[in-house]
Amino acid sequence: ARERAGAGDGVARMASRPEAFLQAAHEHFSRFLAGKSLRYTAERQAVVGAVFEKHRHFEADDLLVWARAHHPRVSRATIYRTLELLVSAGLVRQMTFGDKSAQHYEQVLGIPHHDHLICLACGRVQEVFSADLEREQDALCERHGFEVHHHNLEVFGLCRRCRAAGAKVKKRPKA
């Protein structure tokens, strides 16, 4: 699994009050489930607890291990069903990080918008934010008359550590 690297001010603020975000996540998800006439079971609560105890990128298998530490009866099916509900509730974002065979997730509650730098050698994911880049994206969309609802920028390459270690990545052919 890929670990989160780098942190913005919002992530630092969230990390300083994790119990507040965990409580907010439980309350938001509980209301979401009630609106769908679904129960907020102990197993689902364990999954939410595992997702929101730390800000990190994760895969479903990681979450299964973490959730079972809270509640041993959490099943793989519960993980996948709950992840789907968390994404629908707007509490978790699903990403591929360029790997179509694996789904990655991150919590979004209390986390400010950011983009990702993904190392093709070690898999490290670094969160980044640039106000200049955001302004340029907004201007680009405005020039094309495009109404933005959301976006996700993933930049793939080699991190500083892998470059220093001499890692190489086969160049993609130009289209």
Strand (E) or helix (H) holding 115: strand 115-119
Tens digit of each residue's pLDDT (9 = 90 or more) over 49-87: 999 887 778 889 989 999 898 889 999 999 999 999 999
3 state SS of 120:
coil
Determine if the pTM surpasses 0.85.
no
Region of residue 108 (phi > 0: left; psi between -120 and 50: alpha; otherwise: beta): alpha
pLDDT at 99: 63
The separation between the first and the last C-alpha atoms of the chain, rounded to the nearest angstrom, is 31
Q: Sign of torsion, CA 92 96 100 102?
A: negative
Higher model confidence: residue 19 or residue 24?
24
Contact 50, 66 (CB under 8 A): yes
Tens digit of each residue's pLDDT (9 = 90 or more) over 102-130: 678 888 877 777 788 888 888 888 878 88
Contact 126, 159 (CB under 8 A): yes
Contact 24, 109 (CB under 8 A): yes
